Homo-oligomer: A and B are copies of this chain.
Amino acid sequence: MWTQHDLRLAPRPRGFHLITREVVAAVPELTRVRAGLLHLFLQHTSASLALNENASPDVRRDFERYFNHLVPDGWGEFEHTLEGPDDMAAHIKASLLGPALTLPVRDGRLALGTWQGVYLCEHRDDGGARRLVLTLQGEDGRAD
């Protein structure tokens, strides 16, 4: 069984945002999969996906602080500066965290750990809407 959906994420401010529920809601066939995988893919080069702590908002604020420290806006050695000081830093953060996640599916649900949630990591000041491609594959678990 294969299904593929597009999900448009509304614009969000720069920072790390929980999107687990929105992703699950966009793939109704998930409930039918006995064992499989869900692939999440962001079609952008200045935002990224991560899987991390889903309870404390301060964890997500610390991610934003730390990554701004690690890859400073307008770093002095950047050559690609035409699109603003946050652009090149955003490209690098995007590749450090990555554009995709593959998550296990079991008995109709994502088989995540208790504290795991999907983050949209918005690295631009004004990134706008973001597009995800969601690809689900697995064994159909419905009774015949």
Partner of A80, one of B58, B78, B96: B58
**Cα distance, A42 to B101, chains bound together (Å):** 12
| Pair B2/A36 contact, Cβ less than 8 Å | yes
In the complex, the chain B residue whose C-beta lies closest to that of A133 is: B104
Would B41 and A94 count as touching, CB distance under 8 A?
Answer: no
- Give the distance to chain B from A35, nearest Cβ to Cβ, in Å: 4
A43 touches B116 (CB 8 A): yes
Residues of A78-120 contacting chain B, CB below 8 A: 78-80, 88, 91-92, 94-104, 106, 111-116, 119
Stretch at the interface among A7-15, A17-25, A46-54: A46-54
- B106:A4 contact, CB within 8 angstroms: yes
CB contact between A35 and one of B3, B100, B102, B114 (< 8 Å): that residue = B3
Give chain B residues whose Cβ lies under 8 Å from the Cβ of A3: 35
Indicate whether A62 sits within 8 Å of B88 (C-beta atoms), given known contacts A51-B99, A100-B101, A104-B4.
Answer: yes
Q: CA separation between A66 and B125, bound complex, in Å? A: 21
CB of A98 to closest CB in B, whole Å: 7
Q: Which of A44, A77, A102, A106 lies at the interface centre, i.e. has the most chain B CB atoms within 10 A of its CB?
A: A102
Q: Identify 15 residue pairs between A and B in the complex whose beta-carbon atoms are under 8 Å apart, listed by A's number.
A: A2-B35, A39-B104, A42-B113, A43-B111, A45-B52, A50-B95, A51-B99, A52-B94, A53-B91, A62-B77, A63-B92, A66-B75, A98-B98, A102-B102, A137-B137
